[in-house]
Homo-oligomer: A and B are copies of this chain.
Amino acid sequence: MPEDAPETVLSVCTTCRATGDTAEPRAGARLLAALRAEADREPVPGLRIEGAECLSVCKRPCTVAVASPGRWTYVYGDFDALECAEESARIILAGLRNYQKTPDGLVPWRERPEAFRKGVVARIPPLTAARGDTAS
Give the complex CA separation of A122 and B125 in angstroms: 14
Residues of chain B lying within 8 A (CB to CB) of residue A11: 124-125
Known A-B contacts: A56-B121, A56-B123, A122-B122. Give 20 more (CB < 8 A): A7-B127, A9-B125, A11-B125, A48-B136, A50-B129, A50-B133, A50-B134, A51-B133, A55-B124, A56-B74, A57-B121, A57-B122, A65-B122, A65-B124, A67-B73, A67-B125, A67-B127, A75-B75, A75-B122, A121-B121
Q: Is A52 an interface residue (CB 8 A)?
A: yes
State how many angstroms separate the Cβ of A72 from the closest Cβ of chain B: 10
Q: Is A131 an interface residue (CB 8 A)?
A: yes
State how many angstroms separate the Cβ of A54 from the closest Cβ of chain B: 8
A110-136 with Cβ < 8 A to chain B: 120-125, 127, 129, 131, 133-134, 136
Q: How many copies of this chain does one complex carry?
A: 2
Give the complex CA separation of A123 and B134 in angstroms: 23
Number of residues on chain A facing chain B (CB within 8 A): 32
Q: Is A69 an interface residue (CB 8 A)?
A: yes
Give the complex CA separation of A122 and B66 in angstroms: 12
